[in-house]
Structure 1
Amino acid sequence: MKKAIIFFTIYFCLSSYSISQVKYFIYFNDKGALPQTALLKTSAKYIGATKQLTSRCIERRKKVMGEDFITYEDIPLEETYIKGIEALGIKIIHKLKWFNAVTAYLTEKEILELQKFSFVKKVVPVKILSFFNDSMEKQEIKDSIGESITNQSYERLKKNYRSNYGPSFAQYNLSDIPAVHDLGINGQGVIIGILDSGFRWKDNKALMNLHVIAEYDFVQGDSVTANQSGDIDGQDNHGTGVFSILAGYDLDNIIGPAYGSTFILAKTENIASETHIEEDNYAAALEWMENMGVDITTSSLGYSIFDPGESSYSYSDMNGNTTIVTKAANLAFQRGVVTFDAAGNEGGTKWHYITAPADAYKILAVGAVTPEGQKANFSSFGPTYDGRIKPELVAQGTSVYHAISGGGYTFGSGTSYSCPIAAGIAAMLLSTFPYLSNEQVRQTLIQTASNYSTPNNEIGFGIVSALRAVTFPNLSFENNIYTVHKIFVDSNGIQPQSVKIMYMANDGVVKEDICTFDGKMKYNFNFPSYNNGEKINFSFSYKNNKGILIYEPSEGSFKFTYGNLSVEKTDEVITTEPIPQTFLLSQNYPNPFNGKTAIEFSLPNNSYVEIIVYNVLGQEIKKLFSGVVRQGKNIVYWDGKTDSNNFTASGVYFYCLKSDNTFIAKKMMYLK
């Protein structure tokens, strides 16, 4: 067994039990009734299944499952089967209704006795999974900043935001989290479940004021997730660090993305004597969280290669539907939960692939990058055995600042530390738009990641961005109306009455309308009724408080298929204006002017341009705009002020359009 710092390892320790005593899954043939009977809404079993779910869970399930939110997996285990097993003197550890199974430590004699029961389908050993042994490092705070920016520019960047993130700023700023916190978004109203090694949160300054509604120790079977008798020293260190990265709040030290959320904590990993989590702990914890109404789950576990002689999964099992933990993640997603898992820390080893449950179909596997945005060499990568891209997302996973269970802070590296950053951003998105389904959250995070147009198996779709996620348009469907929702962020402010939407259906007719404003930060538009399957393209425009006309997206448009809630960005452009063949610069109006004048220009394609005002001596007076502008007509305004924000003198001025191969100038008169 190889063991290296940063990379997680796997052990199979039987020191606590005799060789004859191993944990097994005991699978049943049925649940005391066949599906067609058990799923009748008037049956006792169906009613019993419903009673095990909180109202919050049912509400979340209905988003994706409709009224048929109970499946056969949700039907409780048949009690007569449980009693039959217990009558043999066998102590049941976990009851797993999703898998129609229980787990227990068994002798060979007990296995033979169980196999005589007609209701027992099979008895299978529980596999053991590895714990991500991410590194903790003592280092100077400046190491977390990254070499791509100077200390001076770093300090200046931090002052752009309202709160002081202390040494944690770089890890969050890489994913635009401070900018979204400044919008008042912190994950409020979202329930997040964390599966890890333990959590010493009640006396930790960064965590003690967070809203934890439930916690359970699936290793020792009690409600204590901090270290207790039977745990080795430091057992709860890893989970405490992950929790702090996700949601810690301690000004001047750490401000996690989802500090306003509510939390459910599951201690699933036993690291005593370098042992590790077992499949059933994870499956039981995930089932428990889902039933309680969790919106998001995040975990940092997986497995590598098992000890010689022990049954092991292989790369061919990384197919999205083999391991118990992967199946559990799939079932949670089918019920509306947004699921995350760390990709793994074996990128530099013989087994360099992602590990279960990161191979699950819809789980968001999160890899690690450096503060400069480069892939961390230890970060595991894909593809899955069936060819899917993994990881989907990456976040900073080296030099990540986090709390430690004994108090204080340190730096650490590992995908365990990048994963909670991404999960926290999902909470920010769902908090802003609570009607979103888990599929919409997943697609939004992927589409707004930095590498979406050229995904690969090193960093997936790229670095996750909180700002791009919350400002990406999304759809809701209520009362047979599709409504698009959009947040705009402009440092110069926005004129609410100027926000418009242009849209076009299959008939090719471009329509323009005004978006409604909710008085806070969201703009909405109700689409007219179309036939299901029609493709709808749309884009937005608005004027900022400087009078500059802005288009979103600056290139292309957004699109969705009527009857579907998935929004995508496309290269297709829609416009109500004719596209010119060359660059055009119109005469300003009014002219002469003494208040504000409008300058129109039109482009044949998306281009980088500058609009600059000069005096008659050729001296620059004001740069009105510089950046990429979409094809078609655009407008900027000038109020007679200079670059230093002082009013210039009355007289003749020239305004110029500059591009790579274009320079056009016109004259105007300013009367002060």
Structure 2
Amino acid sequence: MRKTIVKVIFLAILAASLSKRTLAEDIHSDSSTSNAKLGYRLRDSLDSFGSGDIVNLWIFFTDKGIEKRDKGFRDPSEFISKRAARRRLLRSSVLADWYDVPVNPGYIAALHPYINNLRHLSRFLNAVSALVEVGRIGTICSLPFVKQVELVGVERIPMDVSVHEAYNEFDRSRISTGDDPFGGSFDQLEQLGLIELLKRGYNGSGTLSGNDPITVAILDTGFKREHRALKGVNVLAEWDFVNDDSVTSNEPGDPFDQDFHGTLVLGTIAGHDEGNLIGPAWGANYLLAKTEIVDNEIVVEEDNWIAGIEWADSAGADIVTSSLGYFDWYSRDQLDGNTAFCTRAADIAVSHGIVVVNSAGNRGQAGLVAPADGDSVIAVGAVDKDGMIASFSSRGPTADGRIKPDLTAMGVDVYTVSYSDTAGFHRYNGTSFSAPLVAGSCALLLAINCHWTPMDLLSALKKSATRVASPDNSYGWGIPDVTLASGINVPGYRSNVTISSIIPNPFDASMRLDIFAPRSTDFSVKVYDCSGRCIRTLCSRRSIEWNDSIVWDGRDDNGNRAAQGVYFVSIETSGRKEVKKAVLLY
């Protein structure tokens, strides 16, 4: 009898050991097709989960129920607002496209039995994010309309990295005077060449230029608008993508400083208290999106951010600014402008005519954050008031070798509202504040030049910037001059005519010089040989505005073919000369 019992126990243990498989093996064994649908992060993490654990997943679909991705739409109003349609008519090549078509509702209904909670729908990515029991992932993967299943990105950013308080004391030393309305914000505005435009009444409202007010969407942790400098901010709409309601200030259950970061960012771009603080775009309209969680650190969930930028697109935002991003979730070699889901969403928004501005990050030499790696996203680094790069400002390049950041702005001792005192002001450090300063600059430029596309605007900012001739991966193209980029004629204001490119170079028959002049400016272009002798004057006292091209046919002033070798092309204006090298080959 005893031998029988021992045999039974042995066989039971053997059967249990043979039947025991990991959760990953259970899911993988459903079919090779299901296995192929697992995103690499989810696949690598499965063994760390129990079958009853609940995870936040992206579930991507194969289609939207239409025949072609490039199908045209006869009635765009079915998908986008009138405000968004007006923006696209001005600044986009498409009025409506595949990315505007909603996620197939039939697919969502079919998913419902297998998910615990539906979080967000993404028409940009053709996906939903949902809380799902791990044990149901295999069943979801087996559905024929599911293309891929992946974990939603989560980034944890220490609060003391994203926002550093430079001064603890309140600064009330500046009082309102008629000739100094800018107070403590003067340095950060003057560095960007904003003072002249602000003095003339340009503030994002569009009033002076006869255009509509610019609408800026801010994606951040929340917003407390009790400060006196924020009382006049014109908020068109707000939404909390964390709690799914219309309250973006602190709510019961939120950490006490949930809306801290977003409040400071709002003050930087939109604050208005003459004699103390002027935000560059204080006259613009605003959309406020609470997309991040604060719990001793800032928790950035990627599906909230993507839901926020899609909402901004639908609501008709002209500009989206965000001061947070992803770095640990994506490896450095994935920051190539095409991999990160948030970067892909940002690029789609730009294709719809939205200017997307994002901080480069506070990681110094450790590299960028997503979505700042996007090729159409304006990534902003931080400098001090003397224009020196901040040690914490993230450096490029992107994984595919592009220069980043694009621009820099003051991110050291930036003056903005106090969070705790509704009449006080503090100074803070971080690219979190460089980004809204540049976004506010973009609002002024769009109010003046309403037809500019996002890439037109970025080009104008780069060409007006301090390092246009030699951009690098610390400063990008440098600090832009917004007055210069605007094209507004301000008597006595400096000019910045530049040779933006020489094509081809080297050349044999002829070459083209592309010239940028932000306002009507007289200039001359001459060609010098290596001895310093001027062999050809291509133009003298020529005047253009914005862009022009001049061709050199490789001949001197007498019509003779110049010898093979190195030449120097000089563009000269009053008080300024720029020289570029050109190589003539036969």
The structure-2 alpha-carbon separation of the partners of 1:109 and 1:174, relative to structure 1 and needing over 3 Å to count, comes to same
Aligned equivalent of 1:385: 399
Distance in structure 1 (CA, Å) of the matches to 2:546 and 2:339: 31
Aligned equivalent of 1:320: 337
The structure-2 alpha-carbon separation of the partners of 1:297 and 1:32, relative to structure 1 and needing over 3 Å to count, comes to same
The structure-2 alpha-carbon separation of the partners of 1:442 and 1:540, relative to structure 1 and needing over 3 Å to count, comes to closer
Which residue identity is paired with 1:405?
Y
The structure-2 alpha-carbon separation of the partners of 1:419 and 1:198, relative to structure 1 and needing over 3 Å to count, comes to same
TM-superposed CA distance for 1:331, in Å, is 0.5
Q: Secondary structure at the match of 2:330?
A: coil
Deviations 1:439-489 (A, max 9, x none): 111111111111111111110000122211113xxxxxxxxxxxxxxx321
Correspondence 1:401 to 2:425: no
Deviations 1:399-427 (A, max 9, x none): 01111333222110000011111111111
Correspondence 1:62 to 2:89: yes
Q: Secondary structure at the match of 2:162?
A: coil
TM-superposed CA distance for 1:196, in Å, is 0.6
Asked if structure 2 preserves the Cα contact closer than 8 Å seen for 1:212 and 1:263, the reply is yes
Asked if structure 2 preserves the Cα contact closer than 8 Å seen for 1:340 and 1:364, the reply is yes
Which residue identity is paired with 1:489?
V
Deviations 1:563-593 (A, max 9, x none): xxx94478999xxxx99xxxxxxxxxxxxxx
Which residue identity is paired with 1:628?
G
Asked if structure 2 preserves the Cα contact closer than 8 Å seen for 1:371 and 1:398, the reply is yes
The structure-2 alpha-carbon separation of the partners of 1:386 and 1:432, relative to structure 1 and needing over 3 Å to count, comes to same
Q: Which runs of 4+ in 1 moved over 6 A?
A: 534-542, 569-573, 605-608
Gaps of 5+ in 2: 1-44, 206-212, 494-511, 527-537, 539-544, 559-569, 579-586
Distance in structure 2 (CA, Å) of the matches to 1:443 and 1:69: 23
Distance in structure 2 (CA, Å) of the matches to 1:233 and 1:395: 30
TM-superposed CA distance for 1:378, in Å, is 0.6
Q: Secondary structure at the match of 2:228?
A: coil
User: Equivalent of 1:301, from 317, 324, 336?
Assistant: 324
| CA RMSD, Structure 1 to Structure 2 (Å) | 3.6
Matched ranges for 1:124-139 at <5 A: 124-131=150-157, 133-138=162-167
Correspondence 1:465 to 2:481: yes
TM-superposed CA distance for 1:120, in Å, is 1.5
Q: Secondary structure at the match of 2:237?
A: strand
269-278 vs 212-221, which moves further? 269-278
Correspondence 1:22 to 2:23: no
269-278 vs 173-182, which moves further? 269-278
Asked if structure 2 preserves the Cα contact closer than 8 Å seen for 1:130 and 1:304, the reply is no
Correspondence 1:51 to 2:78: yes
Q: Secondary structure at the match of 1:129?
A: strand
Q: Secondary structure at the match of 2:408?
A: strand
Matched ranges for 1:571-590 at <5 A: none
The structure-2 alpha-carbon separation of the partners of 1:567 and 1:540, relative to structure 1 and needing over 3 Å to count, comes to closer
Deviations 1:136-189 (A, max 9, x none): 2225799x99xxxxxxxxx9xx99x95421111111111121111112211111
Distance in structure 2 (CA, Å) of the matches to 1:223 and 1:333: 25
Asked if structure 1 preserves the Cα contact closer than 8 Å seen for 2:357 and 2:379, the reply is yes
Aligned equivalent of 1:432: 448
Asked if structure 1 preserves the Cα contact closer than 8 Å seen for 2:73 and 2:97, the reply is no
Asked if structure 2 preserves the Cα contact closer than 8 Å seen for 1:540 and 1:553, the reply is no
Matched ranges for 1:50-199 at <5 A: 50-66=77-93, 68-88=94-114, 90-131=116-157, 133-138=162-167, 162-188=179-205, 189-199=213-223
Distance in structure 1 (CA, Å) of the matches to 2:518 and 2:390: 37
TM-superposed CA distance for 1:535, in Å, is 8.6
Asked if structure 2 preserves the Cα contact closer than 8 Å seen for 1:266 and 1:285, the reply is yes
Distance in structure 1 (CA, Å) of the matches to 2:349 and 2:279: 25
Aligned equivalent of 1:335: 352
The structure-2 alpha-carbon separation of the partners of 1:456 and 1:98, relative to structure 1 and needing over 3 Å to count, comes to same
Asked if structure 1 preserves the Cα contact closer than 8 Å seen for 2:239 and 2:247, the reply is yes
Distance in structure 2 (CA, Å) of the matches to 1:261 and 1:198: 19
Distance in structure 1 (CA, Å) of the matches to 2:304 and 2:518: 48
Gaps of 5+ in 1: 1-11, 146-154, 306-311, 472-486, 493-533, 543-550, 560-565, 580-604, 609-626, 632-672
Distance in structure 2 (CA, Å) of the matches to 1:373 and 1:570: 32
TM-superposed CA distance for 1:191, in Å, is 0.6
User: Equivalent of 1:416, from 432, 442, 463?
Assistant: 432
Distance in structure 2 (CA, Å) of the matches to 1:568 and 1:470: 13
TM-superposed CA distance for 1:433, in Å, is 1.3
Aligned equivalent of 1:208: 231
The structure-2 alpha-carbon separation of the partners of 1:78 and 1:539, relative to structure 1 and needing over 3 Å to count, comes to closer
TM-superposed CA distance for 1:85, in Å, is 1.6
Correspondence 1:628 to 2:575: yes
Which residue identity is paired with 2:412?
T
290-299 vs 266-275, which moves further? 266-275
The structure-2 alpha-carbon separation of the partners of 1:76 and 1:137, relative to structure 1 and needing over 3 Å to count, comes to same
Matched ranges for 1:383-532 at <5 A: 383-406=397-420, 407=422, 408-471=424-487, 487-491=488-492
Identity of aligned residues (%): 34
TM-superposed CA distance for 1:607, in Å, is 7.8
Matched ranges for 1:156-305 at <5 A: 162-188=179-205, 189-201=213-225, 203-274=226-297, 276-305=299-328
Distance in structure 1 (CA, Å) of the matches to 2:519 and 2:464: 19
Distance in structure 2 (CA, Å) of the matches to 1:124 and 1:379: 31
Which residue identity is paired with 1:121?
K
Correspondence 1:362 to 2:376: yes
Deviations 1:308-338 (A, max 9, x none): xxxx421110100101110011101111111
The structure-2 alpha-carbon separation of the partners of 1:437 and 1:107, relative to structure 1 and needing over 3 Å to count, comes to same
How many pairs are equivalent?
Answer: 472
The structure-2 alpha-carbon separation of the partners of 1:85 and 1:383, relative to structure 1 and needing over 3 Å to count, comes to same
Distance in structure 1 (CA, Å) of the matches to 2:170 and 2:235: 30
Asked if structure 2 preserves the Cα contact closer than 8 Å seen for 1:554 and 1:628, the reply is no
Distance in structure 1 (CA, Å) of the matches to 2:388 and 2:326: 25
Q: Secondary structure at the match of 2:250?
A: coil
The structure-2 alpha-carbon separation of the partners of 1:554 and 1:88, relative to structure 1 and needing over 3 Å to count, comes to same
Q: Secondary structure at the match of 1:115?
A: helix
Q: Secondary structure at the match of 1:99?
A: coil
Structure number with the bigger relative contact order (C-alpha 8 A, sep ≥ 6) is 2
Distance in structure 2 (CA, Å) of the matches to 1:344 and 1:541: 33
Asked if structure 1 preserves the Cα contact closer than 8 Å seen for 2:156 and 2:297, the reply is no
102-111 vs 239-248, which moves further? 102-111
Asked if structure 2 preserves the Cα contact closer than 8 Å seen for 1:141 and 1:167, the reply is no
Distance in structure 2 (CA, Å) of the matches to 1:428 and 1:399: 23
Distance in structure 2 (CA, Å) of the matches to 1:457 and 1:541: 29
Which residue identity is paired with 1:193?
A
TM-superposed CA distance for 1:369, in Å, is 0.3
Distance in structure 1 (CA, Å) of the matches to 2:348 and 2:411: 28
Deviations 1:36-92 (A, max 9, x none): 6x83535xxxx4x632311121122233544x4222222111111111122446321
Aligned equivalent of 2:71: 39
Q: Secondary structure at the match of 1:26?
A: strand
Asked if structure 2 preserves the Cα contact closer than 8 Å seen for 1:130 and 1:302, the reply is no
Asked if structure 1 preserves the Cα contact closer than 8 Å seen for 2:467 and 2:477, the reply is yes
Asked if structure 2 preserves the Cα contact closer than 8 Å seen for 1:539 and 1:553, the reply is no
Distance in structure 2 (CA, Å) of the matches to 1:140 and 1:410: 7
Which residue identity is paired with 2:87?
R
The structure-2 alpha-carbon separation of the partners of 1:19 and 1:347, relative to structure 1 and needing over 3 Å to count, comes to farther
- TM-score, length of structure 1 as denominator length: 0.64
- TM-score, length of structure 2 as denominator length: 0.73
